[in-house]
Amino acid sequence: MGSEPHQLHLIMIPFLAPGHLIPMADMAKKLAEQGVMITLITTPVSAARMKPVIDRAIAKSNLKIQLVQVPLPLHEFGLPEGCDSVDLVPSRNLLRSFFAALRELQKPIEQVVSELKPSPKCIIADKHLAWTAEIASKFRIPRVLFDGMSCFSLLCTHIIRKTQVHTSVPISIPFVVPGMPDHIEFTRNQLPADLYPNSEDDQDFHNKVREAEEGAYGFLVNSFEELESKYIEGYQKEKVSKTWCIGPVSLFNKTDFEVARRGNNMAATDEKQFTKWLDSWPKSSVVYACLGSVNRLLIPQMIELGLGLETSNRPFIWVVNVNDQQEEIENWILDSGFKERTKSRALLIYGWAPQVLILSHPSVGGFLTHCGWNSTLEGITCGKPMITWPMFAEQFYNQKLIVQILKVGESVGVKFVVQYGQEEKFGVLVFRKDIEEAIDKVMREGIEGEDRRERAERLGDTAKKAIEEGGSSYLNMKLFIEDIRKMDMS
C-alpha cells in the first residue's frame, strides 16, 4: 500500500468478539476518511466479517485501510477450527483455552508491526488485550485504548475500585457510589467481573488488564459529550490519561449496504425481507427483541421470553440466539404452537441480525435489550425507548443510565448479574409477566409513554449532530488525530 510522506499511520488491534470488533471497524473507516492510514490486525474469521464493508469503503473513497490476518493457534489449545471469536467458541468450558490462544498473538503481531511501512505512530488496542502494552513499549509508540464502554460505566468502576465502598456491604444490599453527579446505587452482585470476580484466574486476568491500562496514553470512547457530559467530565478529572469521545460510531455507516452488513456479510435479499416486513406495520408498533451475540439463555428462560413477547399482543421481531441449543428451541417453537399462534405478527431471526437497519425503521417502537453498550448506543441513536434486561459485564451500569438518568427505558426487573457461562446455576430469572408488563409500559400510549418517546427521539437527533461536521464527536476525532501527529513531530 503506497503512502505519502508524513502520512500518519495507526495500527488497530481489536478484541475478538462482535461487540468489540464492529465498533473498531467503524472507527477504522472514520479515521481513514480523515486522511489517516490504518492497518487493522485481526484473525481470519474476524477479517472476513469486516472485509465487505472495508473493501467497499476502500473502493468508493480510496481509503488507506489494510486488513492483516494473523491466525489464532486453535489446535495447540484444543479449540476447533474456525472459532477465532468469542461468539464462535462452542462451549463455555473452552473460553479459558481461547484466552490462552489469544495471548499467543503477541509475537506474530510484533512481526507484522516491524515490517509495516511507513512506521506506525500509534497503536489503538482493545483494553482487554493487555499484552499490547509490551508491543507499544517495544516499538516506542503511544498506545491508545478502546474499551467499548460509556464514561458513566468507566467512572462508576473507577470510583468503586478506588473507594472499595462495595466491600463492606452484604451481597444484595444497595450501596451508594460516592462522588457521582447523580445519586447512583448498585448491589455488589450487579457489578462487573473485574470488581466482583468469581475465581482467582479471573482476578489475575483483570489485574493484568488494569496494570496495562496504567501506561496508556489515552482512551477512545464510543459515546458523545451531550449524552453524558457530567460523567465524561468526572472521568477526565479522575484519570491522568486523555479521553476522546468520538461516537456513536455506528452512525459512521451512511448507506443501507454499510448498515445492513455491519459485522456480517448478510445477503441483500435478507435486508429487503426485513424492510418489507417492517413496512407492513404502523409507526412505533413493533417490539424488537435481541439480547446480544454472546448471551446464552437457558431453554426455559428462552420460552418465557417468547411467551412474554406473545402475550404482549404486539408485532415483534425476536432474534433467537441459539448457540448450541438450536434444535431444542426450534422444536418448542413448532411443537408448542408458538409459531402458528404468532405467525401473523412475528418475525423470528436465528443468529445474527442487522440491528441498526431494524432499529432505524419507523415502525419499531421499543427495543428489548441486554444493555451491552453497543446495543444501548444503537437504541439511543435510533431514538428508541428500551426494555432493559442486563445480564453481565457492565450491563447493569448501562441499565441505570437508560432507566434512571436518561429516562428512556423500563426494566424487566432482573436483580443480579449471571456470570458468563453460569446460567445453569440460576435457572429462570425473568418471567413472561415481567416481560409483558415492561413492554406494555414502554409501548403504551399516554403522557408518560409519549414523554419517553420524545426524550428518546431528541437523544437520537443529538447523537446524529455529534458526528456531523462541527459536532462534538467530529471535533474530538480531529483533536485525537492532531494530538498523535504532534507526538510524532516532537
| 109: CATH | 3.40.50.2000
412 and 393 inside one domain: yes
224 and 272 inside one domain: no
CB 387 within 8 A of CB 434: no
Amino acid at 323: N
- Residue 253: what pLDDT? 87
Instruction: Give the chain's domain count.
Output: 2
Angle subtended at Cα 36 by Cα 34 and Cα 42, rounded to the nearest 5 degrees: 120
Q: Report the C-alpha gap between 215 and 235 in whole angstroms.
A: 17
DSSP string, 28-84: HHHHHHTT-EEEEEE-HHHHHHHHHHHHHHHHHH---EEEEE----TGGGTPPTT--
246 and 184 inside one domain: yes
Is residue 169 in a domain?
Answer: yes
C-alpha cell at 418: 449471571
Is residue 38 in a domain?
Answer: yes
- Residue 267: what pLDDT? 47
50 and 84 inside one domain: yes
Amino acid at 444: R
Is residue 82 in a domain?
Answer: yes
Is residue 377 in a domain?
Answer: yes
Is residue 399 in a domain?
Answer: yes
Beta-bridge mates of residue 411: 388
The CB density around residue 1, as the number of other CB atoms within 10 Å, is: 11
473 and 460 inside one domain: no
Q: What global pTM score does this model have?
A: 0.94
360 and 460 inside one domain: yes
- Residue 78: what pLDDT? 94
313 and 199 inside one domain: no
Q: Report the C-alpha gap between 40 and 103 in whole angstroms.
A: 17
CB 303 within 8 A of CB 427: no
The CB density around residue 221, as the number of other CB atoms within 10 Å, is: 27
CA proximity to 268, closest of 280, 256, 277? 256
**Domain coverage including residue 126:** 9-251+467-489
225 and 273 inside one domain: no
- DSSP three-state, residue 318: strand
245 and 275 inside one domain: no
The CB density around residue 73, as the number of other CB atoms within 10 Å, is: 15
Is residue 121 in a domain?
Answer: yes
**Helical spans, DSSP H, in 117-267:** 132-139, 151-163, 200-214, 229-238, 256-261
CB 66 within 8 A of CB 40: yes
Q: Each residue's pLDDT tens digit in the chain (490 positions)?
A: 444 447 899 999 999 998 899 999 999 999 999 999 999 999 999 999 888 888 888 888 889 999 999 999 999 999 999 898 988 888 778 888 999 999 999 999 999 999 999 999 999 999 999 999 999 999 999 999 998 999 999 999 999 999 999 999 999 999 999 999 999 999 999 999 888 766 666 778 888 888 888 889 999 999 999 999 999 999 999 886 799 999 999 999 887 777 776 766 554 447 788 899 999 999 999 999 999 877 778 899 999 999 999 999 999 999 998 766 778 999 999 999 999 999 999 999 987 888 999 999 999 999 999 999 999 999 999 999 999 999 999 999 999 999 999 999 999 999 999 876 677 788 899 999 999 999 999 999 889 999 999 999 999 999 999 999 999 999 999 999 999 999 876 5
- Residue 2: what pLDDT? 47
215 and 230 inside one domain: yes
Is residue 398 in a domain?
Answer: yes
358 and 484 inside one domain: no
Is residue 259 in a domain?
Answer: no
434 and 485 inside one domain: no
